[in-house]
Amino acid sequence: MKLKICHLYPDILNLYGDRGNVMCMQKRLMWRNIEAEITQVPYGDNSSLSDFDIFFIGGGQDFELGLLISDLKTGKGDNIKAAVNDGKSFLCICGGYQIMGRSYELRDGTKYDYLGALAVHTVSGKSRNIGNTITDTKDYGAIVGFENHIGMTYLDEGVVPLGKIRLGFGNNGEDGTEGAIYKNVICTYQHGPVLPKNPVLCDAILETALKRKYGRADLAPLDDTFENEAHDSVIKALMDRQK
């Protein structure tokens, strides 16, 4: 078995060690004797995206996100949307989450029209939302991470939240949601990087990609004792601070 992982825009969307998510997927496949082929597709690279099984898009600053508009219009944006509709797996963090949506409107009225691969839209808030996060999800348990964003994202038709925010700001600080799920696309504002902190989420992404490609997912159990202890200790420490 082999999965091909595409790291989109590693040269621009590279904040907060988010590339650790790609490394985590690679390692958790390798430990199961499943080959992982990592390809970086930077700004200006119009190579075909049709052969990839998993796509990762990290976070960036507002001005960097604006730079991507011209690149997405070269055909790359259409290829990304085609991959979404074909059931390919995506993990999109922060700025990567935003560009998958319909639009981002800045406080000065500037509006970036993005991919529209997901029915979500983002507006710039008045202040940054920074801090540790805990999100309760139906399928992956409690997800821990770290958020740092000024964008306020709202989910529109056909998109469900990744989960409900227990600690932190989440999508917009108003409706209690965090992240978004559409088809096999998972979006979140949680850095960390999020996958090493939440191995259950990582394995779920890998399993989905394997099932789509091979019709089955032979993911042997791993000894996640240390990972789980770290995960649980973070939740305990953060909740103790709220008392």
Q: Which positions ≥6 away from 35 have C-beta within 8 Å?
A: 1, 2, 3, 29
Active site residue 24: no
Residue 221: phi, psi to the nearest 5? -60, 140
Give, in order, the Cα–Cα distances in Å from 205 to each of 91, 104, 127: 8, 27, 32
Q: Which amino acid is residue 240, in one-letter code?
A: D
Catalytic residue among 6, 92, 94, 187: 94
191 is catalytic: yes
Q: Which of 121, 191, 202, 231 is catalytic?
A: 191
| Residues classed as catalytic | 94, 191
